[in-house]
Amino acid sequence: MSKEQQTQLDAILRQGGLDTAADVASVRAAFNALMAQIPVPADVLQKPTEIGGVDGIEVTIPGNESERVILYFHGGVYVVGSAATSVPLVSDLVRRTGVNALTLDYRLAPEHPYPAAVDDARAAYEALLAQGMDPGRIVLAGESAGGGLAVAVLLAAREAGLPMPSCAFLMSPYADLTLSGETLTERQSLDPILTPQGLRVRAPEYVAGADAADPLISPIFGDLSGLPPLLIQVGAHEILLSDSLRLAARAATADVVVTLDVTPGVPHVFQGYAGLLDEAAAALDRASDFVQAQLGYLPASVHSV
């Protein structure tokens, strides 16, 4: 793995930094413009869809497995981002796993604070089950806020007596909206993307009048027993590193099968930079192995771009 790649990516991210503390309209526009610059390979098909009353995008590659699905939740601190902005990363996961995905446009704060995102994500999962899909053929996945949302959906589904999906793949999960993690300040100088100030501005917009320590908002405070196998990937240069560390510990003490995968020297949701960073491609390969193992599915071949 190249230290030069890490340094170059860090410089790019700092130069084109996103001000997450800006007003909502500005930060959304800036984030959408940034993500629109990332190309999607020509063989990746995107189809607008609706499931459980929630809009989304089906991300498919011809020849992929269609009897299994990745239900994906995008990141963006519950305030920015969309199904469309997640397509480049989702398509990379789709290509490696050989399994198609559905990325969800759950409602965003401040217009739709908690529990809107959880309600939408759970509705989509329930709709897959209502269609007759075997829960063991469903994967939940997400990055940042979407990673935290995936765990919240698992908790909500468990409390409702719904069957669990095969597993969940969480990239840099935002799992503590009380913002009590030690690395929030300890990693501040190392993180080129997120800032404590930005999170302190955005978190109340989602939490609104609720309790930020509610496990459906901050899963690190929940009882995680009964959850399916989890893969948590995180970079060592993230202010949210402690979210992943505590979430993994919480899962382990609840007797959940959990794999904590920490990559040194890389930023928040580093998997999104697979074209620039060897560590990102390697992490997605490990995630693909995990997903395929939990689904009991090994594709005949791997698609090339």
**Cβ-based neighbour number of residue 33 at 10 Å:** 10
User: Which one is catalytic: 74, 143, 166, 238?
Assistant: 238
Alpha-helical segments (H) within 64-195: 83-97, 116-130, 145-159, 183-186
Catalytic annotation present for 4: no
Catalytic annotation present for 238: yes
Phi, psi of 103 (to 5 degrees): -100, 135
Query: SS3 for 55?
Result: strand
Let me know: does 178 contact 204? Beta carbons within 8 Å: no
User: The tokens 């698609």 sit on which residue?
Assistant: 303
User: Which one is catalytic: 82, 86, 91, 144?
Assistant: 144
Catalytic annotation present for 144: yes
Q: Are strands 65-73 and 54-60 parallel, antiparallel or unpaired?
A: unpaired
Let me know: does 245 contact 170? Beta carbons within 8 Å: no
Sheet holding 45-51, edge to edge: 45-51, 54-60, 99-104, 65-73, 138-143, 167-171, 230-235, 258-263
Amino acid (1-letter code) at residue 251: A
User: Which one is catalytic: 237, 268, 279, 288?
Assistant: 268
Angular region, 266: left φ>0, alpha ψ -120 to 50, beta rest: beta
Q: Which residues are catalytic?
A: 144, 238, 268
